[in-house]
Amino acid sequence: MATPQQTRQPRDSFGRQVDRFWARVTEGMQVSDLWSQFRTDARSSYRLYSKDVDSTRAAGESRVRHGMNLVGRFFWAIIEKLTPARRVLLLAAMVLLIIPSTEARWSNGEGGFSAVSFDTHFYGGLLLFALLILEVGDRVVMKRDLQIAKEIQAWLLPASPPPVPGLEIAFTTKPANTVAGDYYDVFARPCESAKPTYLIAIADVAGKSIPAAMLMATFQASLKTLSATPGSLVDLVGSMNRYACTNSQNGRRFTTAFIANYDPTTRVLNYVNAGHNNPILRRKTGAMERLDQGGMPLGIMGDAPYLSGSTTLENGDWLVIFTDGVIEAENNAQEEYGEIRLMTMLNAGVMLSPEMMLSSIMVDLDRFTGDAPQHDDITCMLLKLV
């Protein structure tokens, strides 16, 4: 007879195996985190499919009929995301799951009967599993490609700000997807004088994910190339606009940008705001100014005119440059973070360093949004005159 200790050991071993299996499946996430992740994935999937569904109710259409039509449209919005072969596979699986299992019986000639059963539900589930394997395979390949794209994009963005005399800088970005369409940079611009000036840029390409990331890379390359040529800031932005128009798909893939040239010797900031969110300049006195001189986004009109603005910065001034993903970030109640809350955070932390201020803003932003999915990339740059 097995002793209690001998009985307990196999059970303990089985429990550890179950724990290891569950930890491997969940990657150590708690049930609440799993449920939150599921809700986020479900919302993202619903947005993906529902954007192709016309929910408008026709005149004279009954509610029942309208509901049936919506179900049909949603079904086609899902199935059209698959390849034709996988659509057939899905339809076959659905048919097998709906129809009842069958059994064929016949006489064996010896006074008895032989029978063969066909479990349609089993084979329907098998086809669904095969379809799942195919879709997972595609997802793994795409995830690998996105990871490579993310690494390439990380090379294009600066890891840390350069040392600029009299200026403290901090920046960060948070993609809505694996890769982003936002761009930011600060780098020395060659000039005739011995002391260089610094180009400050932040941009937001229309759209998200891979297409936006590819255009972001194009923007970065054109900015670095054109900034090395002599000319004013207006000339630089005009050249970038003409180049952007060559690959903007007739203006559908435009880019908003704020590009400035800062001279540490005179502390003069010349800038062009090409359709971007107006940066906030908080003076040491607490007065707020907006940098709004410029023109339309890049890539819409090749001969669009641009104006430059100019301001002189002083000790204690703050400059906040951001993309619309910051102020348009939503919580579960679909309320936006907004500029007022951003300026409140700025006023509350004027004694902090830009790194600490930026960390406080991002923590407050995460607290505000909670687990609500975000639809746009979040990028913010802070500059403080010291």
The enclosing domain of 333 has a CATH number of 3.60.40.10
Is 363 within a domain? yes
Is 26 within a domain? no
Of the candidate ranges 83-97, 209-223, 266-280, 350-364, the one whose mean pLDDT is the lowest: 209-223
How far from chain centre, in Å, is Cα 81?
21
* Statement to judge: residues 211 and 325 lie in one domain: yes
Token readout for 377 is: 């990339």
pLDDT score for 193: 59
* Statement to judge: residues 192 and 70 lie in one domain: no
Task: Quote the domain boundaries for residue 145.
Answer: 64-107+116-156
Going by pLDDT thresholds of 50, 70 and 90, the confidence category of residue 218 is confident
Is 20 within a domain? no
Q: What is the mean pLDDT of residues 124-145?
A: 84
* Cα–Cα dist 107/112, whole Å: 6
pLDDT score for 16: 83
Confirm if 368 and 344 have CB atoms less than 8 A apart.
no
> Per the structure, how many domains does the chain have?
2
* Cα–Cα dist 371/48, whole Å: 18
* Statement to judge: residues 200 and 261 lie in one domain: yes
Q: What percentage of the chain reaches a pLDDT higher than 90? A: 37
* Statement to judge: residues 143 and 70 lie in one domain: yes
Name the residue with higher pLDDT: 103 or 373. 373
Q: Could you give the dihedral angle defined by the CA atoms of residues 309, 312, 313 and 318, in that order, rounded to the nearest 10 degrees?
A: -30
Name the residue with higher pLDDT: 189 or 294. 294
pLDDT score for 3: 60
Q: Which of 81-85, 157-161, 240-244, 277-281 tops mean pLDDT?
A: 277-281
SS3 246: coil
Is 219 within a domain? yes
Token readout for 184 is: 């930011």
pLDDT score for 360: 94
* Cα–Cα dist 26/39, whole Å: 15
